[in-house]
Amino acid sequence: MLNPKSTASIAGHPIHAMLVPFPIAFFVATFLCDLAFWRTGNPFWASASIWLLGAGLVMAVLAALAGLTDVIGDVQIRAMSEVWWHAGGNALVVVLQLVSWTLRYVQGPSAVVPVGLILSLIVVGILLFTGWKGWEMVYRRRVGVLDEAARPGEAPQRPVVRRMG
């Protein structure tokens, strides 16, 4: 059987895999800015964190749409338990970050410590878990990985199994 195929792709490259580094980096950077604000009290860090949160939320929605397209497009992907842990955890991340962004928007820097910092720490923990599940899908289940390099315009072929003996 061929590897599970990424439905949302450009020239055979899965779009979801191209987009996910952005919200991860933005949300981890939010946590780091929250730590810096907590230690220094400098309002620059609170301002940076709300912008990072906003950018992370936008990119998370785009990554989620590409991931959802992959889930809808391949029955093999839908059958994997890792997919649902990955998607559910990342949906929780988006909800938590949306709450955090709203609090920061309404309350300003006073929303960063302790609530924003705690939410950021929880989000980073969840991202470690969902990232683990995502990489299990790629490395163990080979989601979106071509069976072998295909020539342009040619479908990938099944791997050849050779027996020694």
The tens digit of pLDDT for each residue in 35-59 reads 999 999 999 999 999 999 999 999 9
Residue 62 and residue 20: Cα distance in Å, rounded? 9
* Segments in the chain below pLDDT 70: 148-165
Identify the helix (H) or strand (E) that includes residue 124: helix 117-139
Neighbouring C-beta atoms of residue 14, cutoff 10 Å: 22
Alpha carbon of residue 90 to chain centroid:
7
Q: Are 61 and 101 in contact (CB under 8 A)?
A: no
CB burial class (10 A; 0-12, 13-18, 19+) of residue 139? Answer: exposed
Q: Which long-range contacts (CB under 8 A, 24 or more apart) does 77-84 make?
A: 77/4, 77/137, 77/143, 80/4, 80/137, 80/141, 80/143, 82/133, 82/134, 82/136, 82/137, 82/141, 83/133, 83/137
Which residue intervals of 20-116 are DSSP H helices?
Answer: 21-40, 43-73, 75-78, 81-107
pLDDT at residue 158 in the model: 52
Please measure the distance between the N-terminal and C-terminal CA atoms of the chain and give it in whole angstroms.
25
pLDDT at residue 164 in the model: 59
